[in-house]
Amino acid sequence: MFSFLTDDDNSRKNIVNYSKSYFRIIPEDRLKVGDNYIAFKLDVDDVYKLAVRPEDIDFTRHAKIGYVLKIPDSEEYGFLVKLSNDIPKTQDDCFDVSRDHPESEIGVVQSYNSESPNKLSLKYGEIELQLSQFESIDNASHGKARHQIFGYIGSKEEVLEVVEKYLGIANLNLF
């Protein structure tokens, strides 16, 4: 899930800004949009990639993206969260162009629903933050960024409390 900014009138942003997959349109049953977040279903059943533009990111929050999952064969849930402010802040700073929509705006916080070699037991996806552009010095790329990733395991209620703390998402409706 991604935390994003809302309009001045605190209304929901237009879902069209978020539902463009890097590969193809993501079906509505794989997206949930709240007042200040968008959630994307990661289950390896189909391949999609969702990206959020830097202009829609809430930079007052250090956490930019999180991944909640029900741990298989357990009553517990897990939560991975990536934190950083070292990501592009505008379209002009972005460089990771969409493969299938190179003319589209670029997203810097992304989630990818991967294929799995063993669908029945390995269900995973990917969450990522785009780095700021590197600088070319003496024919080599140089860059520096500070990113953190934290993981939590606990009951559903405990994990949802941590989600609210990091991403500011209350009453998250999981898939």
Structure-model confidence comparison of residues 51 and 19, the more confident one? 51
Residue 23 banded pLDDT, cuts 50, 70, 90: low
Poorest-pLDDT segment among 24-28, 88-92, 153-157: 24-28
* pLDDT exceeds cutoff 70 at 113: no
pLDDT band at 48 (very low <50, low <70, confident <90, very high): confident
Once rounded to an integer, what is the mean pLDDT over residues 107-120? 68
Could you tell me if residue 89 is left (phi over 0), alpha (psi between -120 and 50 degrees) or otherwise beta? alpha
pLDDT at 54: 84
Are the C-beta atoms of 18 and 52 separated by less than 8 Å? yes
175 pLDDT tier (thresholds 50, 70, 90):
confident
| SS3 label, residue 38 | strand
**Can you tell me the distance from the alpha carbon of 115 to that of 22, in angstroms, rounded to the nearest whole number?**
15
> What average pLDDT does the segment 147-159 reach?
95
How confident is the model at residue 19, as a pLDDT?
43
The amino acid sitting at 113 is N
Distance of alpha carbon 112 from alpha carbon 124, whole angstroms: 9
User: What is the value of pTM for the model shown?
Assistant: 0.77
Q: How far apart are CA 29 and CA 67, in angstroms?
A: 17
Task: Give the rounded percent of residues in the chain with a pLDDT score beyond 70.
Answer: 76
Asked if residue 157 has pLDDT above 80, the reply is yes
Q: In what order do the strands lie in the sheet with 109-113?
A: 48-52, 109-113, 125-129
